[in-house]
Structure formats: C-alpha cells, structure tokens
Structure 1
Amino acid sequence: MSREIRLNAFDMNCVGHQSPGLWRHPRDKSWTYKDLDYWVHLAKTLERGKFDGLFIADVLGVYDVLNGNVDAALRHSAQVPVNDPLQLIPTMSYETEHLGFGLTASLSFEHPYTFARRISTLDHLTKGRVGWNIVTSYLNSGALNVGQPAQTNHDDRYELAEEYLEVCYKLWEGSWEDGAVVRDREKGIFTHPQKVHPIRHAGKHFTVPGIHLSEPSPQRTPVLYQAGASSRGKDFAGAHAECIFVAAPSKAVLKRYVANVRQAAERVGRNPREILAFNLQTVVVGETDAEAQRKFNEYRKYASFEGALTLISGWTGIDFGQFGPDEVLRHRYTNAVQSAVETFTTIDPDREWTVREMADWVGVGGFGPVFVGSPSTVADLMQEWVDDTDVDGFNLAYAITPESFEDAVDLLVPELQRRGVYKTEYRQGTLREKLGGKGPRLAVPHPGAVYRNLGSEPTRLAV
C-alpha cells in the first residue's frame, strides 16, 4: 500500500497562473486575486481538505522573451499583473489554524539582512506556519529593473545563494540565544544583552556585522523549499531543502530527479528520507470519468496558444515567436530555467515535439501532467506515481479557481482518505512539525542547524 500522500495547492498572486487564457472561463475567479476574500476562501477550503499548505509562486519581472516584448504577456495575463505574495499570508493564517504557507521569494533582489527580518516577522504572525521557497530568479527583466546590468549566470546565482543562506542561518539560528528574551518586569529586563550576538559576517557578496533585528520566531528558520532542477540546483536542494518542488511531466523524469536529490542529500550527510518531494500536478475531477473528461474538454477551449508560448519562452529563455507552430523543438543552452529546456526532450527520447504540441501541453497546468477522471481514477494515478517515482505528494495547480481546488477537496480527498493514504487530522505544532520534523527547528546535520550560538558569537558546530 502507498505511503501517505501529501498535497499542497499551487497558486500565485496573479490571474491564470499556470493555465493561460482560462481566466476567460465564466466560472474562473482568478481575476479576483486582488481581494482578500478570494484568498481567505481558498485558505479555508484547503484547510477543510487537510492540505499541508498553500505554495505561492512569484516572479519579479515580466515574460518579455516572446517576440522580444511584453505585449503577449499583458494581453493574456501571463503572470502579469502580479502582486506581492507575502502580504496575503498574515490574513490567511489568521483565518486558519493548521494550513502552512510556502512563500516564494527571490534571493537575487533583496539583501539577506532585511529579508531575514521579514521572514521572522511572518513566522511570528503565522505561529510558525511559514516556509520559504528559495529561488534565484531567471527573468532578465527582473534584474534590469532593480538596477543590475543583466541576469547573473545560472551557476553563479547558486554561489550567491549559498552565501545568502549562510547569512540568514547566522541571523535566524545564531544571533539570539535561547533564553535571551526574558520579559522580566521585576528587574526591568526584556532581553539579556549578553545573549544576543553580532554575526560578524564578511563574505564575497555580503557584509553583515550586526545582530538579527527580530527575537527568535517559533521555527527560527522557515521550512525550506527549493525548486531548482538543474544539476547545480539539485546539489543545492540536497544540501538545504526540506521540501523540493518538481515540475516533471513524466514518471521517468520525476523518478530520476527525486533519486538525484536524495543522493545529493546523502553525500552531505543528511537523511534523504527527510526531504519531501512534491510534483506539479493538475487534477480535473468529476463524479465520473465522463464528467471529468467533459470538464477538461471545456477548459481546453479557453486555453491560449500565445499565452502558453509566452510562459514557455520566459521559462526557457528562447523566443518561440521566431518558430512556426509545426517546427520541432531542439535542445539548446540558456541562462534561464535550464530544466525547462530539457523537459520536453526527456519526456520521450523517441518523440519530437513541435511548438504547437508544447503549447498544447502547457495550456492547462503548465509543465506538470494533468490527471483527468473520477476520484477513484485520479487516486489510482496518484498512488501509482508515488509508488513508481518515490515522490511524496503533489503541488496541485488549478485549471480554473476555486473550482479545481474545491473539486480536489470535496471529491478527491475523501477517496484518498477512504484508502488510508491521506491524513484525516493535522499534526499539532509548527509547519516543520506537521511535515514530520522532530521539532520546530532545523536539526543537525542540516547546514542551517550548525549555526548555534557558542558563547560570544555564532559559529559552525562540528558534525
């Protein structure tokens, strides 16, 4: 029997997200992304379905690779307009008790000193239910608009990421000792100064001499998500990630990716089973297979060919406007999301994908596969993928929202629970504890856990 299947919802503070063009569907409400009512309803729906979390994507930049301009992205709302994701989380956490929140935030465009405070604040406000999806950003437009001459080379972004995390770990884990905050009214001491230490970081990219501005939050370090799928990204995930997010279109690709990350974790002395892997998936569920297929066919009528090419061009760094719809995809190196280029060439080594076929695949649900069927059919497929690939669960994107999520909660979850492969109650504690952690904080030998205070300053512990 399959082990427990975990589910996150995958959304973004924008219109359409992974299904370009479906904002036109009469039942889609993604255009109400500007209203807190939408997000509160979604959070309550997901908690009713015992979802582990809401994974919120983000990009700081625009998809302007197609035809060399932003016109198609604006025309089809291909992840623009897009609002800040962080500001949604406090309200949703206030209206729920258990649901976790995975915040996507790029380390390419914000200094770690200020970012660490924002995350500590969020961890306090959510009572320890926040995670950070670590991304290095891939859109050149984002780099240009924060004053950088161009996007940093792919592998160099991971070098910066290593130091960025080192700074954050020192601030979160090492600057304030346990017991530093006493709130002693009698003695008039709120914090013991001798238990708060400057981190004295002086590195290649960052100099941070002082103390963390926030007192320790419930988790200190948020649950760490990572979505890099290049070779460099997998090594980074193996070292740091507690959860990995994959957008694999086939079982073969997913199985290889999960195995590679678990091997990378083992190489640095971590327990590979402590990393939870989630694959991007879209489910179209109906009471029967026929009803689900009818829904899917209806959704596909609204998918935008040009909108899909806008996303693919942004993800790969290749302007697909220069090719005809029936031209065949050829692999090439880019400085964007390298795994995106490889995705279609690795689905089936014997298949040649045309531009039209790629757009058709991406049109509903992005790069991930789409499961269509009754609750029983979709549950069978999920169990099969878990058994065959070693994945732990799925990040569910929507075709239309909130319908896709409501169908998953009302139809699919009860079937998974009936089979004994889905939780009926949440674990208590922080997000890290709900996901199976032994406590609210990072545990040795995770590289963040070794920055514990030893006397006058935080240093690495021997492991």
Structure 2
Amino acid sequence: MKTMQIYAFDMNCVGHINHGLWTHPRDQSMRYTDLDYWTDLAMTAERGKLDGLFLADIVGVYDVYKKSPAPVIETGAQIPVNDPLIPISAMAHVTKHLGFGVTVNTTYEQPFLLARRMSTLDHLTKGRIGWNIVTGYLDSAARSMGLERQPEHDARYDAAEDYLQVLYKLWEGSWDDDAVLRDKAGRMFADPSKVRAVKHDGSYYKMEGIHLSEPSPQRTPLLFQAGASARGQDFAGKHAECVFIASATPQAARPIVDGLRRKAVEFGRGGDALRILNLLTVVVGRTEKEAQDKLEDYRRHASIKASLAHYSSSIGIDLSTYGLDEPIGQLTTNANQSALAVITGQAAKPVTVRQITEQMVLGSRIRPVIGSPEQIADHLQRWIDDAGIDGFNLARTVAPESLRDFVDLVIPVLQERGLFKADYAEGPLRQKLFGSENGRLPASHPAAAFRFRNA
C-alpha cells in the first residue's frame, strides 16, 4: 500500500493562506517573531512524523486590490513577513529527522550567494534542507528591487534555467567528494588539486569562482517547485523532485499530475522521479459535530477582504473593480498563470466575484476538509487513489492548534491503516523520501551532468 507524504505549510508571518484567523483567541501566530514559536512547531511536526515543515515566502506586497497595499497591511495578509531561512537552524537543532523546505526567489537573489546559504543550511540540518524554486509574480517585488516591473512569465523561467546551471556547477562540480582532508598532522585542510573554480557564461548569468562551502550532505538541496503553468510544468518535469499543486478536487488534480509525470519521463527521469503534493486545509474534531462546531468558530474570524486582496495579486486582476455578479473576462496578465487559468481559461463558464468569495470559507480560496479523524483519513486516501498524488501540504488555520490536532487525531488513524509511516527512515532528506544513495541526486537528474569527472 502506498504511504503518503505530509508537510506542514507555513510562512514567517501572521497570516499565510487562511486569512484573518490570527484574530482567533487561541491563535498564536502573532508570536512569529519568537524563536520558541518556531522550535515548538518543528517539534510538534516531528512528533507526528511529518516529512517536513515548508516555509513559503514573497518579497513584495499584495497591492493590486483597490490599487493599494492598505487592505493587506490592515489584515496582516503576508505582511509583515520575515526571512524564512533564519529560523531553520534553530528548528533543526531541536529535531532529528524533520525536513525543511524554504522558498527563495531566483529573480532577486544572486546564485553565487544563494549556493553558499543553502549549502550552509544543508550542513547545519545534516542534509534535511530543500529549496522551493520560484520566479515571482508580483510587480511590487520588482519595484522594490529597482525594476519598473517584473520580467515576462516565460522569460522568468528562461532565467531560472540559467540560474540553476550556475548552482549545479557550484554544488556538484566545484569540490570533489574527497577534497576535504582535515589533516592536522599534515597541516592540510583541503587538497587544492580537488577544488576548482567553475565558469558560467549564460544568457542571464555570468560568473567564475570556487564554491565557498565544502560539499554538504546532499550537495544540491532537495528541489521543490510549485509552478502549474505550461512553462512551470516543463520546468518541474526537468528539475523538481517535489511539486506542490493546489487543485480543488482530485478530478481537477489528475490531469495536472499525469502531465507532470509525463514531463519527467520526457526529460529521461521517469514518472516516479516526482513526489506531487496537493495543498489542503483540514479542520478535524474527535467527532464530525466537533469538527463542524470548530469550523463555525473559526470562520467567524476569517477575512474575505484579505483573501480577495491576496487573490487579486495572485491573478493580477483588481477584483474590487468588478460587481459581485459581474463575469470576470478572459484576461491575460503577467502574474500567477495557473491561478488565473482556474477562473478564466479552465472555467466552464464565466466566474464572478460572488462565486469566488463563496469558496473563501476560512479566508482563502481553498475550501477546508472537515470531519472526524476517520473521515479525514478517508478523504486523504481518496485523494491519493483518485488524483495519483503522493501527499499533502497542510495549510494552517488556528496556529499551532491545527497542526497539533492533525498530529494527535489524524496521524494515528493514517498509521493504523498503513497509509503513513510509523517512523522516519535514516539519512538525509532525499534519502528518506526517495531511498537515494547518500542523499545525492540520481544520475538521471540534469544536475548530474555538472559533476566533475577526471578525463
């Protein structure tokens, strides 16, 4: 029987996906600036044997709705937002097996420095770090970084291809596995003949230099990706190991899942090279009634304003300019193509703002799954069977209550049914998830082409 992978999905801010719930009396997400908040969260996730804790990020603000950032500033919708990499070392210190995924935007980060930061985290976590590769979709981020607007959608992916070549050369080719000697008697820390500068002369990036970090347990961190556009799926099929999607139903997810696996096969990697995880919000109680009561309690705190502001920036359309029952036209924007397609190209008929808000039960466009532990387990199993996915990315509601509820109530049922692991495997993150030797990328991955080989 196939066992699923499960990640806790979070962000270094007050309001992440389900907006407004920070106002709930039991919610503690206003402690996001407190390191103890993050270490406690990590220990809870590891107690539940979750595969990882995944931290999203943006480097701009949502300012499309009402042409102002005021709605999201007022409601705490992913602003203020702190750096997602900083808490990871502390969370790794209080855990032994939990993996960590972190979002870093290729458009605004120099690859040479990112290579060192990710190698450092791979060392400090003992090989438990993953990188979510994003190219961005906010013009506000571009303006903050000195540009008039962000590059065009497909051009951002073209640049990311070039970016990854730089990283692969640094991570995989600059140092030999046996370059570091640590020879005190011989007074030689590393053998210079086994360390080399790498050179890159691409369309977007040019560099020449030695990777500043010695080889880390995984060398290249586990690679996550979340693009569901046609260009994003090509990119995922070539590079990603774990792919996040956000489909509303298993039936909607299935074509995306099958398409991603076909892409991986086209790139010579095989369909089993990907672990595909769907975004899910869960509200669980010891009984169905308790879960429904909890939902009603939560939804009184949800913010539709924040959710509309978030969604407007995601799709690049100011939804405040539409009447409640006015159809949203078949528009093209330079924002999140897959999010826009859901209400335009993929929609059977024109979608209205009223229909969008009706989906926003807990302050997001992701309708929650509600029920007893057994009902939640049934629902997750149907997703695995019907969509062909490998697991889930669990969005928080009331924090950290929602994660504790899932760990204490749902995980035991999944384990009893053989749907979730009873304990962690040993080794680095990639080895835990794929069984790969020494936690390194397989030869079928494009990064392997950049490993140094003596002539």
Query: Which TM class, normalised by the smaller chain length?
Result: over 0.9
Match in the other structure for 2:359? 361
Q: Contact between 1:248 and 1:367, CA under 8 Å: does it hold in 2? A: no
Match in the other structure for 1:377? 375
Deviates more, 1:236-245 or 1:315-324: 315-324
Deviates more, 1:336-345 or 1:133-142: 336-345
Deviates more, 1:401-410 or 1:335-344: 335-344
Match in the other structure for 2:444? 445
| CA distance in 1 between partners of 2:330 and 2:298 (Å) | 30
User: Which amino acid in the other structure matches residue 50 of structure 1?
Assistant: K
Alpha-carbon offset, residue 455 of structure 1: 3.2
Alpha-carbon offset, residue 329 of structure 1: 3.1
Alpha-carbon offset, residue 297 of structure 1: 1.6
The reply to whether residue 238 of structure 1 matches residue 222 of structure 2 is: no
Match in the other structure for 1:419? 417
Match in the other structure for 1:217? 216
Match in the other structure for 1:140? 139
| CA distance in 1 between partners of 2:119 and 2:312 (Å) | 35
Alpha-carbon displacement from aligned partner over 1:23-62 (angstroms, at most 9, x marks no partner)? 1111111111111111111100000000000010000000
Match in the other structure for 2:77? 78
Match in the other structure for 1:28? 27
Match in the other structure for 1:250? 249
Q: Contact between 1:73 and 1:307, CA under 8 Å: does it hold in 2? A: yes
Q: Contact between 1:102 and 1:133, CA under 8 Å: does it hold in 2? A: yes
Backbone CA RMSD of aligned residues: 1.4
Q: Contact between 1:22 and 1:28, CA under 8 Å: does it hold in 2? A: yes
Alpha-carbon displacement from aligned partner over 1:169-198 (angstroms, at most 9, x marks no partner)? 000000101100001112211111111111
The reply to whether residue 59 of structure 1 matches residue 58 of structure 2 is: yes
Please give the secondary structure, in 1, of the residue aligned with 2:87.
Answer: helix
Q: Contact between 1:329 and 1:353, CA under 8 Å: does it hold in 2? A: yes
| CA distance in 2 between partners of 1:423 and 1:248 (Å) | 25
| CA distance in 2 between partners of 1:360 and 1:32 (Å) | 30
| CA distance in 2 between partners of 1:348 and 1:289 (Å) | 32
Deviates more, 1:321-330 or 1:384-393: 321-330
| CA distance in 2 between partners of 1:174 and 1:276 (Å) | 26
| CA distance in 1 between partners of 2:148 and 2:363 (Å) | 33
Deviates more, 1:358-367 or 1:81-90: 358-367
Alpha-carbon offset, residue 365 of structure 1: 6.7
* Corresponding residue to 2:394 among 376, 393, 396: 396
Match in the other structure for 1:89? 88
| CA distance in 2 between partners of 1:347 and 1:414 (Å) | 38
Q: Contact between 2:361 and 2:368, CA under 8 Å: does it hold in 1? A: no
Match in the other structure for 1:162? 161
| CA distance in 1 between partners of 2:372 and 2:119 (Å) | 42
For structure 1, the residue ranges without an aligned partner over 5 or more in a row are 457-463
Q: Contact between 1:249 and 1:367, CA under 8 Å: does it hold in 2? A: no
Match in the other structure for 1:338? 337
Alpha-carbon offset, residue 347 of structure 1: 7.5
Alpha-carbon displacement from aligned partner over 1:231-251 (angstroms, at most 9, x marks no partner)? 000000000000000011122
Match in the other structure for 1:264? 263
Q: Contact between 1:282 and 1:365, CA under 8 Å: does it hold in 2? A: no
After TM superposition, list the pairs within 5 Å mapping 1:175-324 onto structure 2: 175-324=174-323
Q: Contact between 2:306 and 2:363, CA under 8 Å: does it hold in 1? A: no
Deviates more, 1:234-243 or 1:355-364: 355-364
Q: Contact between 1:253 and 1:346, CA under 8 Å: does it hold in 2? A: no
Match in the other structure for 1:114? 113
Q: Contact between 1:248 and 1:343, CA under 8 Å: does it hold in 2? A: no
Please give the secondary structure, in 2, of the residue aligned with 1:104.
Answer: strand
User: Which amino acid in the other structure matches residue 392 of structure 2?
Assistant: F
| CA distance in 2 between partners of 1:240 and 1:98 (Å) | 24
Alpha-carbon offset, residue 363 of structure 1: 4.9
| CA distance in 2 between partners of 1:109 and 1:318 (Å) | 23
Q: Contact between 2:322 and 2:328, CA under 8 Å: does it hold in 1? A: no
User: Which amino acid in the other structure matches residue 448 of structure 1?
Assistant: A
Alpha-carbon displacement from aligned partner over 1:341-384 (angstroms, at most 9, x marks no partner)? 1124577625x532133134245273434210001111101100
Q: Contact between 2:330 and 2:345, CA under 8 Å: does it hold in 1? A: no
Q: Contact between 1:278 and 1:394, CA under 8 Å: does it hold in 2? A: yes
Alpha-carbon offset, residue 292 of structure 1: 0.5
The reply to whether residue 409 of structure 1 matches residue 407 of structure 2 is: yes
Alpha-carbon offset, residue 451 of structure 1: 1.1
| CA distance in 2 between partners of 1:209 and 1:455 (Å) | 20
| CA distance in 1 between partners of 2:366 and 2:3 (Å) | 21
Please give the secondary structure, in 2, of the residue aligned with 1:87.
Answer: coil
User: Which amino acid in the other structure matches residue 178 of structure 1?
Assistant: D
Alpha-carbon displacement from aligned partner over 1:307-355 (angstroms, at most 9, x marks no partner)? 11111011101011111223233332110001001124577625x5321
Please give the secondary structure, in 2, of the residue aligned with 1:103.
Answer: strand
User: Which amino acid in the other structure matches residue 282 of structure 1?
Assistant: T
| CA distance in 2 between partners of 1:381 and 1:234 (Å) | 26
User: Which amino acid in the other structure matches residue 266 of structure 2?
Assistant: R
| CA distance in 2 between partners of 1:303 and 1:332 (Å) | 29
Match in the other structure for 1:173? 172
Alpha-carbon offset, residue 139 of structure 1: 0.7
User: Which amino acid in the other structure matches residue 200 of structure 1?
Assistant: K
After TM superposition, list the pairs within 5 Å mapping 1:10-21 onto structure 2: 10-21=9-20
Q: Contact between 1:253 and 1:347, CA under 8 Å: does it hold in 2? A: no
| CA distance in 1 between partners of 2:325 and 2:370 (Å) | 27
| CA distance in 1 between partners of 2:388 and 2:87 (Å) | 32
Alpha-carbon displacement from aligned partner over 1:35-94 (angstroms, at most 9, x marks no partner)? 111111110000000000001000000000001110001011111000000001000000
Paired residues in the alignment total 454
Q: Percent identity?
A: 50
Match in the other structure for 1:459? none
The reply to whether residue 432 of structure 1 matches residue 423 of structure 2 is: no
For structure 2, the residue ranges without an aligned partner over 5 or more in a row are none
Please give the secondary structure, in 1, of the residue aligned with 2:447.
Answer: coil
Please give the secondary structure, in 1, of the residue aligned with 2:171.
Answer: helix
Q: Contact between 2:307 and 2:363, CA under 8 Å: does it hold in 1? A: no
Please give the secondary structure, in 2, of the residue aligned with 1:197.
Answer: coil
Deviates more, 1:176-185 or 1:247-256: 247-256
| CA distance in 1 between partners of 2:189 and 2:151 (Å) | 43
The reply to whether residue 125 of structure 1 matches residue 124 of structure 2 is: yes
Alpha-carbon displacement from aligned partner over 1:255-275 (angstroms, at most 9, x marks no partner)? 111111100110010111121
Change (3 A) 1:330 1:14: same
